[in-house]
Every structure is written in structure tokens, then in C-alpha cells.
């Protein structure tokens, strides 16, 4: 359902929220926000409401969403210069949000970050998880040197470690 929200509301953020009422799961509720404005809710139903399994609800205010300025990215021509990518797997507490890690990586990578792709979550005992990302670096006016890519990667790795996380080999 999160992917559906991201498709319908381009540029949305899923922000953890407190469950309200008796239908929302107390640990799996969030608001959907676009440009800082709440446009809906995304939550799991409370387990006692179901015979078996899990069910999620995406409740979007389409009128509010339609009234917002377009969040679609402007057209960008194909890149003229090649990019370089590297993967990182960050070990974090099971309660750390992927969005928190994404924000930290964007901040550390700087202006040469072309894209940041979430790859997967791998649960680790006890109460930890490994979150993997692919970072792609490049410049619009030239090919980055191996030294520039290495420097950026080292800055990201040092920043992640300084933030209290460890990297998984």
C-alpha cells in the first residue's frame, strides 16, 4: 500500500503516527504527507478485527491531493556522462525508519548524488535489521574521477559510523 500511495501522490512522505480509534493497529499507522500537508492515512487493521492474516488501508483525500501543485519531477534529458554506483548495508535498530537512513545518506553524499535506491531489509537478531541501499554518483558536466567517487563513499561511510550505525560486509 505504501507503493500505491507513492504512485498516486508523487513525492509523498509516509510519517509514523499514533493510532486513533479501535480499527488502527497501534504500531503500524502513518500519515501520508505531500509538501508538508497531510493528505491521508496508511495503516494496518487491528489484529483482533481479522480472522487471519493482515490487512492494510490507504485512505487518501483525493480533493486535497488534486489541489496541491504537481509534485512530478521535471523532465531531465538523458545523462551525457557515466555514473558510478556502490551499495551499502547499514545495521540499525529494528525501530529505525528507512526514511531516516535515506535522509542521512542524502545529506552525506552531497551534490553528486544522482539517485538513492532502497534495495532490501534483512532482519538480524536481536532487534536489529540490515537495510541496503544503492547510491549512484555523477556530475552533469563531466565524468567523476575515481578519487571523487572514493572520497564521497568514504565520507558517507564515516558519517554513517559517526551517527552510531555499523555497516554490514
Residue 87 contacts residue 132 (beta carbons within 8 Å): yes
Quickly list DSSP for 91-113: EEETTS-HHHHHHHHHHHHGGGE
Angle at 158 between CA 98 and CA 131, to 5 degrees: 25
Q: Going from the N-terminus, what domains does the chain have, and what CATH number goes with each?
A: 2-67 (no CATH), 84-167 (3.30.70.380)
Long-range CB contacts for residues 94-99, cutoff 8 Å, separation at least 24:
94/123, 94/127, 94/128, 94/129, 95/127, 96/129, 96/131, 97/16, 98/131, 99/13, 99/14
What pLDDT is attached to residue 71?
A: 63
Give me the residues paired with residue 122 across strands. Answer: 130
76-114: string of b/e by CB count within 10 Å (b at 16+)?
eeeeeeeebeeebbbbbeeebeeeebeebbeebbeebbb
Cβ(160)–Cβ(108) below 8 Å: yes
C-alpha grid cell, residue 99:
526514511
pLDDT tens for each residue of 31-66 = 999 888 899 999 999 888 888 888 999 999 989 888
**pLDDT tens per residue across span 81-139:** 999 999 999 999 998 988 899 999 999 999 999 999 999 999 998 899 999 999 999 99
Q: Which pTM was predicted?
A: 0.72
Amino acid at each position: 500500500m505504501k507503493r500505491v500511495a507513492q504512485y498516486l501522490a508523487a513525492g509523498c512522505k509516509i510519517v509514523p503516527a499514533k493510532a486513533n480509534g479501535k480499527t488502527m493497529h497501534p504500531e503500524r499507522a502513518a500519515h501520508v504527507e505531500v509538501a508538508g500537508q497531510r493528505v491521508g492515512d496508511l495503516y494496518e487493521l487491528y489484529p483482533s478485527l481479522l480472522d487471519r492474516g493482515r490487512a492494510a488501508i490507504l485512505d487518501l483525500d483525493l480533493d486535497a491531493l488534486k489541489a496541491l501543485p504537481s509534485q512530478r519531477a521535471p523532465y531531465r534529458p538523458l545523462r551525457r556522462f557515466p555514473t558510478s554506483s556502490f551499495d551499502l548495508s547499514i545495521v540499525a535498530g529494528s525501530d529505525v525508519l528507512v526514511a531516516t537512513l535515506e535522509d542521512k545518506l542524502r545529506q552525506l553524499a552531497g551534490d553528486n548524488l544522482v539517485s538513492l535506491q532502497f534495495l532490501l531489509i534483512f532482519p538480524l537478531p536481536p532487534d536489529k535489521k540490515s537495510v541496503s541501499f544503492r547510491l549512484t554518483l555523477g556530475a552533469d558536466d563531466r565524468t567523476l574521477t575515481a578519487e571523487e567517487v572514493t572520497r564521497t563513499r568514504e565520507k558517507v561511510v564515516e558519517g554513517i559510523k559517526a551517527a552510531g550505525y555499523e555497516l554490514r560486509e
